[in-house]
């Protein structure tokens, strides 16, 4: 057998299930049978060509998908950390391993980004991803899944890892008050992870997703359709503001309010990539209140901790994974995810 089915994109909004060659792993790669792929918030834009100016994808035909889990089928000659039969969760970023950033552990910011000859890979963006029955990935981008964690739950490693990276950069300490803008998957998971650090967490948003955050452990929620967020947050913090703020909403208002929500000398971590690249920021407030504003990208070195939290039941997924589809129904899965139909949060695709 040397053929497999995959969701192949041939251009903007032009994709179908097609038969393609099963890829062959190189010496440092593993071939995996893909079990679960979670649709990422970036996937609809990738399929529609929204990120073409960033070189995502570099060319067509292309296979997207980067929030995946699977079973190792074959290993390359130099792979010693994995063996056939291992259950693994994959990462989108696999750095070159030799540049300064990679050597410091920041392979999400690899200085050889896009240079395949030097070993960099960005799965589902620059090289083929996981919307397929099989895929090849570097061994270092795969982490073994604990026996009591399902393939579907482990597919949240990317989203949960992105949340964990934001929590780490926010330098959250026990007893602090943390405000999170955006009750979607990353905001919900950031809330759950911040709670494991001993923080008091307030989530700002609306609707069923905000209610899910409350059910999953948020100490307070602010529905911006019922309360002005800054006024309500001031009430809840005695006028001081939050010690740290994590922004996951992606709107101009949420990003602006994130800075305004932080106490003097507070920390703000921006996770989302808003459509508006020319945002108005309260610079005078940032300077005069000495607000520490940090961008956060992806999930470097986060999978082991996330899988441990999942195995221990400290991250809940019941309100996050709302839909499951076979890969043959990819178009419907994308439609339901992107339009948030039927309360969709995280949608899992099964190749």
Q: pLDDT digit string (tens) for 95-118?
A: 999 999 999 999 999 999 999 999
118 DSSP assignment: G
Domain extents in the chain: 3-156+320-350, 161-295
> Which tens digits make up the pLDDT trace of 238-273?
999 999 999 999 999 999 999 999 999 999 999 999
Residue pLDDT, tens place only, 330-342: 999 999 999 999 9
Does residue 1 have a pLDDT over 80?
A: no
Residue 300 confidence (pLDDT): 98
pLDDT band at 276 (very low <50, low <70, confident <90, very high): confident
Whole-number pLDDT of residue 283:
97
Q: Is 238 helix (H, G, I), strand (E, B) or coil?
A: coil
Residue 277 — pLDDT band, cuts 50, 70, 90? confident
Write down the mean pLDDT value for the chain: 97
| Whether residue 177 has pLDDT greater than 80 | yes
Q: Please write the tens of the pLDDT for every residue from 55-73.
A: 999 999 999 999 999 999 9
**Answer CATH for 161-295 from 1.20.58.1290, 3.40.50.2030, 3.40.50.720, 3.40.50.980:** 3.40.50.720
Percent of the chain residues past pLDDT 90, beyond the cut: 97
Q: How far apart are the first and last CA of the chain?
A: 17
* pLDDT the model gives residue 275: 84
Average pLDDT of the residues in 155-168:
98
Angle between helices 207-215 and 185-196 (to 10 degrees): 20
Say how far apart CA 235 and CA 347 lie, in whole Å.
Answer: 36
Q: What is the CATH number of domain 3-156+320-350?
A: 3.90.180.10
Mean pLDDT along residues 144-164: 98
Residues 65, 37 contacting (CB under 8 angstroms): yes
The answer to whether the peptide bond before residue 57 is cis (omega within 30 degrees of 0) is yes
pLDDT for the residue 241: 98
What pLDDT, in 10s, does the model give residues 78-97? 999 999 999 999 999 999 99
Whole-structure pTM value: 0.97
pLDDT of residue 301 exceeding 80: yes
pLDDT in tens, 229-245: 999 999 999 999 999 99
Contact 63, 128 (CB under 8 A): yes
Q: Is the dihedral of CA 164, 320, 200, 261 positive or negative?
A: positive
**Residue 146 predicted with pLDDT over 90:** yes
Mean pLDDT of 285-311: 98
| Predicted pLDDT of residue 23 | 98
Across-strand partners of 246?
180, 269
């Amino acid at each position: 057998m040397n053929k497999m089915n995959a969701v192949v994109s041939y251009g903007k909004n032009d994709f179908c299930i097609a038969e393609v060659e099963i890829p062959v792993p190189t010496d440092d790669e593993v071939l995996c049978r893909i079990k679960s792929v979670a649709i990422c918030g970036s996937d609809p834009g990738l399929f529609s060509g929204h990120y073409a100016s960033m070189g995502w994808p570099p060319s067509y035909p292309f296979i997207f998908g980067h929030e995946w889990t699977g079973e190792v089928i074959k290993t390359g000659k130099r792979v010693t950390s994995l063996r056939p039969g291992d259950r693994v969760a994959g990462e989108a970023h696999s750095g070159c391993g030799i540049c300064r950033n990679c050597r410091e552990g920041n392979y999400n910011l690899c200085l050889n980004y896009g240079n395949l000859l030097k070993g960099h890979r960005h799965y589902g963006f620059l090289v083929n991803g996981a919307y397929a029955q099989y895929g090849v990935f570097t061994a270092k981008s795969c982490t073994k899944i604990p026996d009591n964690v399902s393939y579907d739950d482990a597919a949240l490693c990317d989203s949960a890892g992105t949340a964990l990276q934001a929590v780490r950069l926010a330098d959250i300490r026990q007893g602090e008050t943390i405000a999170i803008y955006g009750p979607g998957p990353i905001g919900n998971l950031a809330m759950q992870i911040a709670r494991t650090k001993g923080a008091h967490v307030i989530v700002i948003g609306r609707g069923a997703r905000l209610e899910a955050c409350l059910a999953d452990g948020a100490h307070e929620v602010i529905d911006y359709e019922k309360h002005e967020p800054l006024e309500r947050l001031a009430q809840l913090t005695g006028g001081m503001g939050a010690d740290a703020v994590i922004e996951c909403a992606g709107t101009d208002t949420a990003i602006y309010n994130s800075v305004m929500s932080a106490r003097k000398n507070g920390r703000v971590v921006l996770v989302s990539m808003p459509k508006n690249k020319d945002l108005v920021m309260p610079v005078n407030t940032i300077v005069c209140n000495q607000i520490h504003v940090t961008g956060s990208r992806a999930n470097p070195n986060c999978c082991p901790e996330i899988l441990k939290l999942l195995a221990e039941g400290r991250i809940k997924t019941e309100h996050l994974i709302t839909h499951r589809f076979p890969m043959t129904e990819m178009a419907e899965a994308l439609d339901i995810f992107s339009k948030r139909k039927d309360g969709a949060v995280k949608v899992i695709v099964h190749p």
